[in-house]
Copies of this chain bind each other. A is one copy, B any other.
Amino acid sequence: MNAPAAHLFQPRALPAAMLDELKTRFGERCSTAMAVRLQHGRDESPIDAPPPEVVVFCESNADVVAVVALADQHAVPVIPYGAGSSLEGHLLAVQGGVSLDVSRMNKIISVQPEDLTVTVQAGVTRMQLNNEIRHTGLFFPIDPGADASLGGMSATRASGTNAVRYGTMRENVLGLTVVTAQGQLIHTGTRARKSSAGYDLTRLMVGSEGTLGVMTEITLKLYPQPEAVSAATCTFPSIDAAVRTTIQLIQMGIPIARCELLDAHAVRAVNRHDKLALTEAPMLLMEFHGSAASVKEQAESVQEIATEWGGQGFLWATTPEDRTKLWAARHRAYFAGLQLKPGCRSVTTDTCVPISHLAEAVTIASEEAEAAGLTHYIVGHVGDGNFHIAYLIDPNIPAERELAERLNLQLVERALKMGGTCSGEHGIGLHKMGFLVTEAGEGAVAMMRSVKQALDPKNIMNPGKIFTA
């Protein structure tokens, strides 16, 4: 299954009594205005669904507890909503219910620079966090394309460009405050860097896509801002050559901080959107962190490997301003890409494969998309073995969506055969349920369902995502 079928849409009625109680408690923070509902009823996926019945803007743990307790009482779905930037239909109200908006829960609760930890409310976005902690000399490295909320990033087990060096949300969430499906507030994890104390509820919640509870507070690892940073771009004769450079530097253990691939289409999109003049050919965009000497050494090693694979035009962004410009352009690649085809929506793939298979995986994906004649571009966190191909489809032409889904199907099946995964960092949502079964097997998915049923027996937490009820 690639696109959500009609049977996924099973709206449940929102009892008038519950709506009354929500209005009494939340006043203007409880909205049934169609504009608000519509805004909360979609995300960056190409899927349409009816909007939620009501949107509640929570401002505290107590607010979240109140909403979930009511939802539990009335067996009504609750969909946690952060920044609205998920890509796989996570936010769609396929069974109706309440959109629980945490975007106003946007306080940094406490920062402990000496422990390299911070605790934030779930609505804090990654950019806000880094702005607010800059004075400490620390930073939080996880950076999906959007300025996502840290709650949403935890829920989808997000990563981004720095994961090759710093890990993903899986490695960087130390603890959580969670409102369970019964409306109970619990805490998972501690501020210690490691623990063997019982089941790893933190990592059970991270990546659970809002289906097991609402994360309201998140304790994260921070990192010292590196003493020295340098960034470089390098152009390659083929996607294959760029990826083989990456494979080799990973195999050698060079501690590169970022290693991003853009294909020629992605470079063209970024050039247009950000008025840059990058050579429109497959490109690696790299960054090195460390002491001045170590950064220099890493850069020299990588330049040597790249040159062997035909890399040329090494351009160094030496000032912070130049680096920021380059990475901002990379982060805007998604929106820049959409403008390659005005009015389009994007079907975005997200496979991750063992590194030795990456060149083959990306090259075939590129060739298939070219042969199909569908506008597309490729960006990849290639140091992790993860890449995205965005197929740009006209939402009014069903054949284009079908073509994109068929290409995605081929690509995912190939990735799974290579020992990879159908989702590196976007999650399953509505869009990849079938792939999850192929990847994990019926037995493992049955185990996931058992966990879901144990923790959310009324199936109120973001129902219809990850697996059908």
Complex: how many Å from CA A230 to CA B356?
30
B199 and A422 contacting across the interface, CB-CB below 8 Å: no
Give A199's nearest chain B residue, CB to CB.
Answer: B448
Residues of B within 8 A of A419 (CB): 115, 190-192
A112 and B223 contacting across the interface, CB-CB below 8 Å: no
Interface presence of A443 (CB below 8 A): yes
Interface residues in A435-469 (C-beta closer than 8 Å to B): 435-436, 439-441, 443-445, 447-448, 450-455, 466-467
Which one of B191, B253, B454 contacts A454 once the chains associate, using CB atoms below 8 Å?
A: B454
Give chain B nearest CB distance to A291 CB in angstroms: 6
Complex: how many Å from CA A352 to CA B187?
18
Which one of B186, B194, B224, B453 contacts A163 once the chains associate, using CB atoms below 8 Å?
A: B194
Give chain B nearest CB distance to A240 CB in angstroms: 16
Residues of B within 8 A of A439 (CB): 190, 197
Complex: how many Å from CA A253 to CA B450?
41
Give chain B nearest CB distance to A454 CB in angstroms: 3
A206 and B200 contacting across the interface, CB-CB below 8 Å: yes
Interface residues in A410-441 (C-beta closer than 8 Å to B): 416, 419-428, 432, 435-436, 439-441
Interface presence of A198 (CB below 8 A): yes
Interface presence of A39 (CB below 8 A): no
Interface presence of A264 (CB below 8 A): no
Residues of B within 8 A of A168 (CB): 194
A contact residues vs B (CB 8 Å cutoff) = 112, 114-117, 156-159, 163, 167-168, 170-171, 180, 184-188, 190-201, 203-204, 206-208, 212, 223-224, 226, 247, 250-253, 255, 290-291, 293-294, 297, 350, 352-357, 384-386, 416, 419-428, 432, 435-436, 439-441, 443-445, 447-448, 450-455, 466-467
- A197-B423 in contact given A447-B455, A451-B451 (Cβ < 8 Å): yes
Complex: how many Å from CA A170 to CA B195?
9
Which one of B112, B203, B253 contacts A204 once the chains associate, using CB atoms below 8 Å?
A: B203
Residues of B within 8 A of A180 (CB): 443, 447
Complex: how many Å from CA A158 to CA B195?
9
B422 and A384 contacting across the interface, CB-CB below 8 Å: no
Give A445's nearest chain B residue, CB to CB.
Answer: B198
Q: For the complex of A and B, list the 9 residue pairs with the smallest distance between their C-beta atoms, beginning with the closest.
A: A454-B454, A224-B253, A186-B443, A191-B419, A195-B421, A114-B356, A203-B203, A115-B354, A192-B352
- A355-B116 in contact given A443-B185, A455-B447 (Cβ < 8 Å): yes
B208 and A199 contacting across the interface, CB-CB below 8 Å: yes
A200 and B440 contacting across the interface, CB-CB below 8 Å: no
B197 and A421 contacting across the interface, CB-CB below 8 Å: yes
Residues of B within 8 A of A191 (CB): 354, 419-420
Most buried by B among A186, A199, A428, A447: A199
Known: A192-B424, A199-B466, A294-B297. 18 other contacts (CB 8 A): A114-B355, A116-B355, A187-B443, A188-B444, A190-B419, A191-B419, A192-B419, A193-B352, A193-B354, A193-B384, A193-B385, A194-B421, A196-B350, A197-B435, A198-B448, A199-B452, A201-B448, A290-B294
